[in-house]
Chain A
Amino acid sequence: MDEVHPKDVGTDADAFERFYRAHYERVTRFIARRVDDPCTAADLTAEVFLAVVDTAHTYRPRKGTVTGWLYGVARNVVAEERRRRGRDLAAVRRITGRRLLDAEGVARMEERIDAEHAARRIVAALDGLPEKTRALLELIAVDGLTVAEAAAALGVTRVAASVRLHRARKTLAAVVEPEPVYV
């Protein structure tokens, strides 16, 4: 759903609400495909939308779709969280998502996380691949982006993404064939 342009999203609360409602499910599912803890998922959801607020003015239509741009933002937030956890550093958060969770919110988040179980297995299976290959495969095979959208999310050209995808498919086949995942 690309009709909500990021323009003004960082400075206009009404524009932000339209963008948020249009993309909330997309963002939470993206995160649920990568983390299995409702509290962390809530924190990251808040972080992604804060990053959207911070960077909305940098979006340029000629660089790709809103979806591609949004997934790029979300991917960076998740990657930063992983780096931080790897170094055992606590995040300084402007909005702590988990504090907004009640029992109902936790249950909702757990439903999403359960629903994305198969996708998380694929993400985990890709862990050993080179970072650029993994990022591309995740966005296309796991998140369902088109090659053009994935290219925009990663800041590369469609041609480069297509070539990378072609190479990666062979690698992916080797990775997932021993334990196929049916979705």
Chain B
Amino acid sequence: MADPFKERLLVALKEEVASREPARPARSHRRKYALAAGFAAVVAGAAIVGVPMLGEDPAYAVEREPDGTIKVKAGFDIEPADAAAIQRKLEFFGVPAVVDLLRGGEDCAGPRGAYVGDEDGSPPDGFITQTDSGFDDDDWSHWNYRIDPSRLEPGQTLVWEIHTHGEGDSKGVTGDVWIVEGPVRPCEIVPGDF
């Protein structure tokens, strides 16, 4: 049995889709839903051994695991110098990297180069995975990564765009991660969706 509402709504929504610019949606919507859906994650808490930082709540951490993978962590309080330090440390561990820090409303113009990976630009499965360093009742949104450098081919570079945005309870840090084959375009800051 046909559902008239379903068909009418489809027509209205398809008109909405057809009327849109092909490139990007309204900024307010992406920010709202991306944040609320949990792409934002406040990184807090556990001190990580081996971090060249003072204090108990490091803004970042990069450490190599016994299995050769590298754990990377970034927090909301990260500074531009920290992004540079992450890049240096990744390179020290043998991972060619470009790390950029972006604040709310900023984005890097894309593409940054020839992306390697899934059709949407995501790195191949297994290159980067989410990890937990622990959780507690008040903050179970730790967002840490584990990178497997053995999956990088010669000539490829890890590009990590760190975004901090929001404030108060909704503040967060997100990361766009790409693998680029060959040269990496410097980050040209353009208005962003977060």
Residue numbers of A with Cβ under 8 A of B are 7, 9-13, 16-17, 20-21, 24, 42, 45-46, 49-51, 53-55, 57-63, 69, 72-73, 76, 79-80, 94-95, 97, 100-102, 104-105, 108-109, 132, 153-157, 159-160, 163-164
Contact = CB atoms under 8 A, between A and B. Distances in A.
17 contacts: A11-B17, A21-B10, A50-B16, A51-B33, A53-B13, A53-B16, A53-B17, A55-B25, A58-B33, A76-B36, A100-B5, A102-B5, A105-B4, A109-B5, A154-B38, A157-B142, A160-B142
B167 interface: no
A95 B12 CA distance: 7
Interface stretch (B47-55, B70-78, B92-100, B128-136): B128-136
A104 B4 contact: yes
Given A54-B30, A55-B30, A73-B33, A95 B122 contact: no
A128 to B, nearest CB: 17
Contacts, number: 134
B38 A62 contact: no
Q: When A and B form their complex, which 7 residue pairs have the shortest distance between CB atoms, in order from nearest? A: A155-B38, A105-B5, A54-B29, A100-B8, A72-B37, A76-B36, A54-B25
B137 to A, nearest CB: 8
How many chain B residues sit at the interface, stated as a range, is 35 or more
Contacts of A62: 118, 122-123, 125, 128-129
Given A54-B25, A100-B8, 5 more contacts: A58-B33, A58-B39, A62-B118, A79-B36, A97-B5
Given A17-B14, A54-B25, A160-B132, A24 B4 contact: no
A63 B129 CA distance: 9
